[in-house]
Amino acid sequence: MMMQTELERKRKQLQPTHVLTMEDWGVTEIHNLLDRAEILSRSSKPFPAQRLFAVNLFFEPSTRTKISFEAAERNLGLDVLPFEADTSSVKKGETLYDTVKTLESIGANVVVIRHSKERYFDELIDKINIPIINGGDGCGHHPTQSFLDLLTIKQEFGTFQGLNIVIAGDIFHSRVARSNLEVLERLGAHVFVSGPKEWMSKELMHRYVSMDEAVEKADVMMMLRIQHERHAVKMVAGPADYHELYGLTAKREKKMKQNSIIMHPAPINRDVEIADELVECARSRIFKQMKNGVFVRMALLSHVLDHNRGGILQ
């Protein structure tokens, strides 16, 4: 009963009806959502007051995000409608809008979409009547990954204010970096970037630090995967050279602050972005991030369904 009272209070404090970008969320709303995820992480499973259906439309490969959403949906008692892009009418030329509108007509109550097109959701939000949760759009945004990163940092330090956070690696092609840069700065952190300069934009160069500077400065080292599939030009440096020049090596880890932590959105290229032995070291919060992903996605799903349906929890 206490959990439901807390959830009801948090529900009334949250506003966005879709989950598209981090820019749509105010600082107060972000903290309320993180509090809601914390409550859900401590609770037994809530039960829906009515039968509701979720569909996960993933047009790009995904392990963690897709399965994390499925776990979150099942934890909330939602029925998950199956969808596989390779065997759907998309292969016959059906548009994204027609696919989503069809699912809405059949009875879906919420859709989670990952798509290679940036801001694919712009063509949907005024035409459909069910909430969209963005599971990643091209090199654009990844708000649910950002929320789970924020929850992990907040659990570790209790605040974002004054923290030095370095986002390192393939910045230009990373929707994780694009989502986190803006929101972490807005929450009071000092955000820096590191990695190959050809993967930076001019606007980010004032934040640039070398990897050797980064490891001594950072409270949080947020390493990024190399997005080979989004590169117009292949890397010049091979994996071993990249690791030595821009990776978090075992030698660099020894120079990190005593209480600093390592994060990575995964999948991980071991011994490229990060040394194999550091993936599960004492500083690593990589698997904690994955665990938090389920609670954050439960919070976001229940929030958008509450907002659109007037409450899914009994």
Q: Using one digit for the tens of pLDDT, what is the confidence trace for 219-237?
A: 999 999 887 666 665 665 7
**Mean of all residue pLDDT scores within the chain:** 89
Binding residues for carbamoyl phosphate: 64-65, 114, 142, 145, 266-267
Number of domains in the chain: 2
- For residue 72, pLDDT over 60 is answered with yes
Average pLDDT of the residues in 298-309: 87
Q: What is the pLDDT of residue 311?
A: 52
Indicate whether 192 and 273 sit together in one domain.
Answer: yes
Which residues span the domain enclosing 197?
146-283
Indicate whether 163 and 235 sit together in one domain.
Answer: yes
Higher pLDDT, residue 88 or 240? 240
Indicate whether 268 and 153 sit together in one domain.
Answer: yes
Indicate whether 58 and 179 sit together in one domain.
Answer: no
Least confident of 6-20, 109-123, 156-170: 6-20
Q: pLDDT digit string (tens) for 205-215? A: 889 999 999 99
CA distance 11 to 32: 9
Highest mean pLDDT among 40-49, 59-68, 82-91, 284-293: 284-293
- Is 133 a member of any domain? yes
Distance of CA 123 to the CA centre of its chain: 22
Q: Are 169 and 223 in contact (CB under 8 A)?
A: yes
Indicate whether 180 and 66 sit together in one domain.
Answer: no
Q: Which residue matches tokens 């370095």?
A: 166
pLDDT band, very low/low/confident/very high, at 314 (cuts 50, 70, 90):
very low
- Give the pair of three-digit tokens for residue 114: 């990952």
Indicate whether 157 and 262 sit together in one domain.
Answer: yes
pLDDT band, very low/low/confident/very high, at 86 (cuts 50, 70, 90):
confident
Indicate whether 161 and 111 sit together in one domain.
Answer: no
Indicate whether 182 and 249 sit together in one domain.
Answer: yes
Binding residues for L-aspartate: 92, 175, 225
Q: What is the pLDDT of residue 88?
A: 81
Binding residues: 64-65, 92, 114, 142, 145, 175, 225, 266-267
- For residue 131, pLDDT over 70 is answered with yes
Q: What is the pLDDT of residue 2?
A: 45
Q: Which helix (H) or strand (E) holds 75?
A: helix 64-75
CATH number assigned to the domain comprising residue 302 = 3.40.50.1370
Q: With pLDDT > 90 as the criterion, what percentage of the chain qualifies?
A: 72
Indicate whether 100 and 172 sit together in one domain.
Answer: no
- For residue 29, pLDDT over 80 is answered with yes
Q: Dump strand ranges (E) for the chain.
A: 53-58, 79-81, 110-115, 132-137, 164-168, 190-194, 220-223, 261-263
Q: What is the pLDDT of residue 238?
A: 86
Indicate whether 115 and 159 sit together in one domain.
Answer: no
Average pLDDT of the residues in 20-48: 87
- Is 241 a member of any domain? yes
- Give the pair of three-digit tokens for residue 307: 């907002």
